[in-house]
Amino acid sequence: MMNENYRIFGKIISVLNKDYPPRVSKKFTDRVMSEINKNKINFSKKTSNNYLNVAASVLFAVITSFVLVNYNPDNSNLVSSESTVPEPVGDNIIQKVIEKDPCYDDNDTINKKDACD
């Protein structure tokens, strides 16, 4: 009965506004309502989903903060200790360079003097 009143009033205001189609299906409202019930659109469910998203964001923030606060900066000692250890120098290579230097050629005394003066 209540429904009928809304339908009548809908017709009246559409005619008053000269805003009506030539005809309207009598089953239109039933079709719309059955689609709504089929899809089960529920506003309380939507709200609970929003709360779930907020809770997930807060949890993520807490975990991130916890990880950052508990980060141990002493781990950087490993890097500094590595850099202080002197790398072994290839003694053989230095020896070879010295041997090839004309200034240190004991046999060629004349050329040695010219090259090194």
Partner 1 sequence: MNIEDDEQIIENCISGDTDSFRYLVDKYQPRIINACYKYTKNLDDAEDVAQEVFLKAYSNLDKFKFDSKFYSWIYRIAINTSLNYINSKEKRQEKETISEESCQINDNSASSDPKDYYELTELVDKVQPLINKLPDDLKILIELYEINDNTYEEISKKLSMPIGTVRSRLHRARNMLISGFKSMNDE
Residue 38 beta carbon to partner 1: minimum distance, rounded to whole angstroms:
10
Residue 40 beta carbon to partner 1: minimum distance, rounded to whole angstroms:
9
CA–CA separation, 94 vs 75, rounded Å? 36
Cβ-contact 111, 104 below 8 angstroms? no
Is 92 a binding residue for partner 1 by CB under 8 A? The answer is: no
Residue 23: phi and psi, rounded to 5, are -150, 155
Stretch 35-74: interaction string toward partner 1, x if CB under 8 A: xxx-x-xxxx-xx---------------------------
Is 84 a binding residue for partner 1 by CB under 8 A? The answer is: no
Q: What is the CA radius of gyration of the chain?
A: 46
Cβ-contact 101, 115 below 8 angstroms? no
Residue 58 beta carbon to partner 1: minimum distance, rounded to whole angstroms:
23
Cβ-contact 102, 116 below 8 angstroms? yes
Binding residues (CB under 8 A) for partner 1: these are 2-3, 5-17, 19-29, 31-33, 35-37, 39, 41-44, 46-47
